Amino acid sequence: MSPSVRRRGPANRSSSVKIGFIGLGNMGGGMAVNLAKSGHVVTAYDLSSAALERACAGGCARAESAAAAVAGADAVVTMLPAGTHVRSVYEDEVFAAAHPQALLLDCSTIDVATAKSVASAAAERGLAMVDAPVSGGIAAANAGTLTFMVGGLDDAFARAEPILQNMGKVVIHAGNAGAGQAAKICNNMLLGASMVATAEAFVLAQKLGLDAQTFFDISSKASGQCWSMTSYCPVPGPVPAAPSNRDYEGGFASALMLKDLKLAVEAAQSVGAAVPMGAQAEALYQMFVGLGGAGKDFSAVTKLLDGSWN
């Protein structure tokens, strides 16, 4: 099966459906609101009352439990912290409450094995499901410009695609169940390793007497160019919108990058793949998070490398 890519446009917007949304954290909150803004009837639930209030202010209806959010929904979207939460929510509440024809979309970033297991459990109950993790961060979640990498059968993807288009700019069918998660952890392993390398280069350039802006002007137009430099520069100045210009607040937390790197390294071990750069990046982020950097954007690893992190 060849991967298919769709970019959002007015002609691709889905007709209104009833959606149950579970998990309204930094990413899920903006995603749920964008679905409501697109004309869907969104019933939302989260353990955090503050997160639920924000979603309701954005046009979602309140549910008092995950099961209540799912009841009567045409589609269910989940955005949860880890595989254990996904398995628990689906097995304890979603499967029992879901309409037999409901479509299940898990947008969490979890391990491939759990994604496949939950999808198999859904299929045993006659429910269609896709794993659809995202790339883009909080700003993209709020703006509706996420990239979705989707695993699932063709029919399930065809049903999920118009819903996902209301939350993102690119929707890619990566393959069958678990393929979306596989693509996500491989992508974020590459991102984590490239951010470390970019940060190292800036620190070295500075110690060799190069101005950060000068080095950026050169490398961003030379063979060292990469997304971590040109879109998310880890030092203040060259890219005004980067978290480095606001004390590394917002963006993609280092704790989440560490989570994704762990998933990638564990997946590599399970299939006998060599990922030395990914493993080194994991070790470095483990150190940074252990030293109190968990809540800082992952580009803040620069401060560990230059010795300025306390």
What integer pLDDT is reported at residue 251 of this predicted model? 86
What is the predicted pLDDT for the residue at 1? 43
- The C-alpha angle 128, 129, 132, rounded to 5 degrees, equals 150
Residue 13 has pLDDT above 60, yes or no: no
Q: Is 144 left (phi over 0), alpha (psi -120 to 50) or beta?
A: left
Pull the structure tokens for residue 41: 């009837």
- Alpha carbon separation from 89 to 11, 19, 33, 110 (Å, rounded): 34, 16, 21, 14
Weakest-pLDDT range from 6-10, 108-112, 257-261: 6-10
Determine contact, residues 180/110, Cβ cutoff 8 Å. Answer: no
Q: 166-176 pLDDT, tens per residue? A: 999 999 999 99
Q: What is the mean pLDDT of residues 200-212?
A: 98
237 three-class SS: coil
Q: How confident is the model at residue 137 (pLDDT cuts 50, 70, 90)?
A: confident
| 33 burial type by CB count under 10 A (0-12 exposed, 13-18 middle, 19+ buried) | buried
Tokens of 124: 């045993």
Confidence bin at 139 (pLDDT 50/70/90): confident
**Kind plus residue range of the DSSP H or E element containing 151:** strand 146-151
Phi, psi of 73 (to 5 degrees): -80, 145
Higher pLDDT, 117 or 138: 117
Tell me the pLDDT band of 15, cut-offs 50, 70 and 90: confident
Q: How far apart are CA 197 and CA 26, in angstroms?
A: 27
> Would you call 37 a catalytic residue per the annotation?
no
Report residue 129: phi and psi, to 5°.
-145, 145
Rg (CA), the chain: 20
Catalytic residue among 184, 259, 296, 303: 184
